[in-house]
Amino acid sequence: MKRNRLGPWLIMLAGALYFFVPLLGTFEFSLRYLRGVYSFEAYRIVLADPRFGATLTYSTVLAVATIIGGVVLVVPTAYWIQLRTPKLRPLVEFITLLPLVIPAIVLVFGYLRIYNSASVLPLTGSERTTDLLLMFSYMTLALPYMYRAVDTGLRAIDVRTLTEAAHSLGAGWPTILFRVILPNVRVAVLSGAFLTFAIVIGEFTMASLLDRPAFGPYLQLMGANRAYEPSALAVISFAITWACMGLLQVFAGRTPGQLPAAH
């Protein structure tokens, strides 16, 4: 059937404009620090600000911790569900979708009330424990994505058959987990990891209410007080997110089973 392609192209063009113009605008704005001339002055100021480095480092460390925590929590769970207790799957899947339903602000509200200094588990009692609480909060936020990535990855490799085959060939559990399952799930874990990283770096609500020196609250503070630096920060922030998502796409494209001619 002959099709008129003009309409779809126009729509794509409009979409592309809507997507790119704000990015362009941000970049252009960030170059305006010095009156009358374009320069990277705003970037220089931002990068020289000690708080920039400090908060970015803090958030990065927290992101890595969240990823590790997420992997430790999710991978064995997903494996166990597939192998031993498939009946629990609907329940577990429902739980992993809860963070998408319950807004983050509600969750952190709950944490503050339950885990404050007066409670059984005073996680907000000290800075380090609050950091721990923030990490758990981020694990909760990332849970849906991490679980889905790992679950999909496990399903693609037919865990049950692999495990039974390994068993019948004489392998014990540690061997199976580390030599058979983990390598095949590595790609899925990585894609979940990049998404988690992007989420944590940009997160504001939880970090701000738990009063931690993360990158998100720093961004907001700059925005309230400065004119041009926020745009530079936005550009930097976008670049980081892009890098994460780009890497995610690279890894998501390589599903297990498509590993290059492995030996």
Partner 1 sequence: MAQVVGPALGPSLTAPSSIGRVSWAWVGVVPFFVFAIMFLIVPTGFLAVGGFRDSQGHFTLRNLVDLFEPTILSSYLISVKISAASAIGGAVVGFALAYAAVAGGLPAWVRPTLMTFSGVASNFAGVPLAFAFLATLGRTGLVTALLSQIFGFDLYSTGFNLLSFAGLALTYMYFQIPLMVLIIAPAIDGLKREWREASANLGASAWQYWRYIALPVLWPPLLGATLLLFANAFGAVATAYALTGSSLNIVTLVLYAQIRGDVLHNQNLGYALALGMIFMTGMSNAVYIWLRGRSERWLR
Contact region for partner 1 (CB under 8 A) — 44-52, 56-64, 76-84, 181-189?
76-84
Of the pair 127, 173, the CB lying nearest partner 1 is at 173
Backbone phi, psi, residue 115, to 5°: -105, 25
Smallest distance from the beta carbon of 113 to partner 1, in angstroms? Answer: 6
Phi, psi of 204 (to 5 degrees): -120, -55
219, two tokens: 């961004």
Q: Is 225 in the site for partner 1 (CB under 8 A)?
A: no
Report how far residue 147's alpha carbon sits from residue 191's, in angstroms, rounded to the nearest whole number: 11
Positions 104 through 163 that interact with partner 1 (CB under 8 A): 104-114, 136-137, 139-140, 160, 163
Mapping DSSP onto H, E and C, the string for 216-233 reads HHHHHHHHHHCCCHHHHH
**Least distance between partner 1 and beta carbon 5 (Å):** 6
Instruction: Give, as ranges, the residues between 161 and 200 that touch partner 1 (CB under 8 A).
Output: 163-164, 167-168, 170-174, 176, 195, 198-199
Query: Alpha helices of the chain — where are they, by DSSP H?
Result: 6-30, 41-48, 50-83, 89-101, 104-114, 127-156, 159-168, 173-175, 182-202, 205-209, 215-225, 229-252
Is 99 one of the binding residues for partner 1 (CB under 8 A)? yes
Taking the least distance from each CB to partner 1, the nearer of 26 and 184 is: 26
The token duo for 192 is 């979940």
In the bound state with partner 1, the residue whose beta carbon lies nearer, of 140 and 184, is: 140
Query: Taking CB under 8 A as the criterion, which residues in 6-45 touch partner 1?
Result: 7-9, 11-12, 15, 18-19, 21-26, 28-30
